[in-house]
Amino acid sequence: MDVRISPSRVRGTARAPPSKSYTHRAVLAAGYGDGATVRNPLFSADTAATARAVEAYGGETSRVDGDFEVVGFGGTPETPADVIDCANSGTTMRLTAAAGGLVEGLSVLTGDASLRSRPQGPLLDALGQLGIRADSTRANGQAPLVVGGGTAGGSVSIPGDVSSQYVTGLLMAGAATEDGIEIELTTELKSAPYVDITLEVLEAFGVEASVGGGDDAEVRASGAEQLAVSGGQTYAPAGGGYDVPGDFSSMSYLLAAGALAAEDELVVEGAHPSAQGDSAIVEVLDSMGAAIEWDRNAGEIVVGRSDLEGIEVGVADTPDLLPTIAALGAAAAGTTRITDCAHVRLKETDRVAAMATELGRMGIETEESADELVVHGGELQGATVRGHEDHRIVMSLAVAGLVADGETTIEGAEDVDVSFPGFFDALSEIGVGLVEA
């Protein structure tokens, strides 16, 4: 599907979708237990993949009145009867590959071409340290993966600068083992707030985990050297249910739209505080000069169109914000320098290169190095751009199109279904002129 975006002003009220990160973890946590109701989840292609994995391991999931009703596999996943298709979801593969390591037989996990190109080697190595069979069928550290054989738990060493999802998968599986799992990080942990999300969900489901060496009062996992979870624990949320908060990664596009194109102001609902590192988008916009106010108690952010200035910002802990910040930088005065972004090249696509390429098509000069993207703000020009089969690239380019001179056509726009299925409906409702073709 292609979408044509016309230069537009936005107004009114928009609501962020539920968090994809929390939904993945909550559905799998319910699967590890006897079951639970996951309330206000994100229904998307990615979270559907995690639900399918829970079913493959012997659980059941159903959509009831806007909730996920999950019947769990009680900490003992069954050997799947078929290959688990994780589609485009790296989170699904990494979290549920660790679960697959607990089965008596073998689990086979695969996905689409993009997912089959992403690195899984460090996770396979860590599972192997636990005595689990963990192989890449092509012996290149990429899917398809074969895991299984079970483990009593133990100690592993793993790098922290490739994907925090490896840590999440091991922690969640570790609680279901006999002895638990201790994780030693051999490099600095990137995306630490995502591990905090995991710790928050584990706690809500009654599972205790610990962090050693953390050096940040607000982000528990920041600076962590070790993490551990004891075995023999039971996943059981208080009251039998879990409420998913709003998603700040998806909210970033709505807030960016308001900062670039609000006629008066845009109100974004569903912005309740949580462990999500991507709430940093509020601080980023404020630093760029946006008129933005966050009522944390009400869960509302009000943002108005402002003359933005380029800034320097690191995304070590907030990799999903890079495309949004790049789009903002393209429309801002001066230079925006995005640092600490080498790991952002390992997502659904190389997001650093993809944003540089597509903003270049829109007349914006960029520079990139292994760990940095520099965006020189200027006059955006309408153009035909590619989504690179990446939902975050598509949504960021749509935001840039709001203030481009002329119409912007985004090819492959259907990929927003991965995390924000109603994205273009939400834009239309706040006044964006667009046509789907």
Cβ atoms of 154 and 129 within 8 Å: the answer is yes
Task: State which amino acid sits at residue 160.
Answer: G
Cα–Cα distances in Å, from 36 out to 22, 67, 74, 242, 245?
14, 10, 11, 8, 16
Longest dimension (CA), the chain: 61
Binding-site residues for 3-phosphoshikimate sit at: 20-21, 25, 163-165, 191, 320, 347
SS3 260: helix
**Active-site annotation holder among 46, 247, 320, 340:** 320
- Residue 273, preceding bond cis, omega within 30 degrees? no
Cβ atoms of 11 and 436 within 8 Å: the answer is no
Burial annotation 188-200 (CB, 10 A radius, 16+ → b, else e): ebbbbbbbbbbbb
d(CA 409, CA 398): 9
Instruction: For residue 155, count other CB atoms closer than 10 A to its CB.
Output: 15
d(CA 108, CA 116): 13
d(CA 128, CA 343): 24
Active-site residue, 243 included? no
Q: Pairing relation of β-strands 300-304 and 262-269?
A: antiparallel
Binding-site residues sit at: 20-21, 25, 90, 118, 163-165, 191, 320, 347, 351, 392
> DSSP code of 251?
H
Tell me phi and psi for residue 309, to 5 degrees: -120, 140
CA-atom Rg of the chain in angstroms: 21
Catalytic (active-site) positions = 320
